[in-house]
Structure 1
Amino acid sequence: MHGEQIIQPLKTQKSNRCIIIDNQTLHYLRNWRLKQKQLFLTFGFNTFKKNQLIFASSKNNYKSLNQPGKWLNKIIKDHGLKKITVHGFRHSHSSALFAAGATIKEVQERLGHEDAQTTMNIYTHVTSKQNKNAVKKLSSYLNF
């Protein structure tokens, strides 16, 4: 052990899945990939392998587990933003999906949960709001 990272699948998620991303995000990732190849070439690393990490350490290994949090905290401080954790973005993402009208099944697949019940248990506050909105829509449709 002694500071060694252990990489394993999370308990409520399917491992090794592909997710669809929007074109703008893909654009930024492709630009980063090009910069990464150029930078790591100067360090003598081959970044053309299939399993290349997106955000690797300067030794082309996993970054420290707290590194994303450090980056995020600096951005929050520098720009006077409201505090959020890295994991908070996962919740924000799912809340936005629900608000946009995504179904439980769609959010479950996106988050990689094994079953929809897990998604419902974690995001019940969001689904309750959706249910209230659904009643309003129905009422409006039926002209009450």
Structure 2
Amino acid sequence: MRELKEIFGTVSDMKSGKEIEKGYQNLVSTYQAFYEKAKQMQEEAEKNLSLERILNFTKTFLLPQPITGEELRQEYWKLVTTKCGKELEAVKDSITAFVNVLDRLMVKYPDEAGMIGNVKESVEKELKRMADVLIEECEKWSADA
């Protein structure tokens, strides 16, 4: 994920700036842990499918079919949802915590409510962008199969 100042601009001149930055950094670190683990699932997906093909060959002695991009994508997302569950849950919790911080700050600093709302919108767009990045990387990687 990009830095807060890249997606929104500076919040340091806001009264709520330090709390916003702290909440965002927590979100970034939990997302980074999820992202790194999800990237590891690419290699694991390839290994799983290759092993499955080898085991099938030893049983049938029929030459295995090549692994398709679609098979890789399906295996990858299956692994991400099963083996990255803890990290994904941490990301969801961190998003919820960040939104709660922003909501609390809107009440605490009503004069900054509009700016805080803009921060929230910018972070939501960044999270969507990162989800798209993960999907796009999966598409590119599996297309090489």
TM class by smaller structure: under 0.3
- TM-score normalized by structure 1? 0.25
TM-score by length of 2: 0.25
Q: Which has the higher contact order (CA 8 A, sep 6+)?
A: 2
